[in-house]
Amino acid sequence: MIIPARGRSVISVYSVSDSYDSHRIRFLLKTKNISSIDVIEVDPLNPPEDLIHINPYHTTPTVVDRDLALYGTTVITEYLDERYPHPPLMPPDPVTRAKLRLYTYRMEKDWLSYIPALEVGTIEEKKIAREELFEKLCASVDLFSETKFFLSEDMTLVDTCLAPFLWRLEHYGLDWEELPKPIRQYAHMIFRKESFKQSVSEQEREMRFDF
Backbone angles phi, psi at 66, to 5 degrees: 60, -115
What torsion, rounded to 10 degrees, do the Cα atoms 117, 126, 114, 164 define? 100
Q: Is residue 35 very low, low, confident or very high in pLDDT (cuts 50, 70, 90)?
A: confident
Residue range 125-182, pLDDT digits in tens: 999 999 999 999 999 999 999 899 999 999 999 999 999 999 999 999 999 999 999 9
pTM equals: 0.93
Q: Is residue 48 very low, low, confident or very high in pLDDT (cuts 50, 70, 90)?
A: very high
- 10 Å CB burial of residue 209 (0-12, 13-18, 19+) is exposed
The counts of H helices and E strands in the chain are: 10, 4
Q: Is there a shared CATH topology between the 5-83 domain and the 94-193 domain?
A: no
* Alpha carbon distance 128, 83 (integer Å): 40
Q: Is residue 9 very low, low, confident or very high in pLDDT (cuts 50, 70, 90)?
A: low
Architecture of domain 94-193: Up-down Bundle (1.20)
Domain residue limits, the chain: 5-83, 94-193
Architecture of domain 5-83: 3-Layer(aba) Sandwich (3.40)
* Alpha carbon distance 13, 74 (integer Å): 15
- Non-local (6+) Cβ contacts of 146 within 8 A are none
Taking residues 59-87, what's their average pLDDT?
Answer: 95
Q: Is residue 4 very low, low, confident or very high in pLDDT (cuts 50, 70, 90)?
A: very low
**CB 188 within 8 Å of CB 208:** no
pLDDT of 211 over the 90 cut: no
* Alpha carbon distance 146, 149 (integer Å): 8
